[in-house]
Amino acid sequence: MKITKKVFIIFLTLVTVTSAYSQTKFTEQKAGHVYHVSIPDYMTKSVTLNDVATMQYINSAKNAYLVIIDDSKEELEMKGIKFASLKEFHDDNIKHLKGEENDPVESKGVEFEANGNKFYQSELSVNFKEKDDLEVKITYLITYVETKGYYYQILCWSLTPEYKNLLADFKKIAASIRD
């Protein structure tokens, strides 16, 4: 009887520890010209974050936000816009996000490949001054992706103090994109 009690206690402990450290569940969603991205179940679809985004998700309680903007290479070329590299696409787009009055600080970018796509990823911290000189610090995980026919901008952000808790999910979202 004592062995059974010990086994039960060990089993109960393992179940408790496993559930405490279980990973967030992700569900694949589709948007835009039909691309797919895995989104955490705690985020819900939105349309209020960005006027040109083809995918937007939010969780206000966790301060987790996601916007994806896609650009067709063919349409860009018809407008006379062609990028020699994904880094050049990053450089052209990041300046709009940084602004000048918000003391932006960008980490060194990392280039990698996943699912046959090229990625350029960096973090951007921005201080926004609100009314009454209240300062709000936001950190973005910015991922630029190049596929055969498209460029994607994946912007995941949160309040800086909560960002580290969401970073693993943000990276998983970004790396999951496929068209």
Residue 59: inside a domain, yes or no? yes
- Structural domain for 111, as ranges: 26-175
Residue 2: inside a domain, yes or no? no
Residue 38: inside a domain, yes or no? yes
Residue 72: inside a domain, yes or no? yes
* Domain at 30, CATH number: 3.40.1000.10
3-state secondary structure of 149: coil
Mean pLDDT by 10 residues, the chain (179 residues): 44 39 65 81 94 94 95 93 91 79 84 92 88 85 95 95 96 93
Residue 33: inside a domain, yes or no? yes
Residue 4: inside a domain, yes or no? no
CA 109 – CA 89 distance, rounded (Å): 13
The predicted structure's pLDDT at residue 97: 75
Residue 67: inside a domain, yes or no? yes
CA 90 – CA 112 distance, rounded (Å): 14
The predicted structure's pLDDT at residue 6: 44
Residue 20: inside a domain, yes or no? no
The predicted structure's pLDDT at residue 135: 85
Using an 8 Å Cβ cutoff, are 67 and 49 in contact? Answer: yes
How many domains is the chain built from? 1
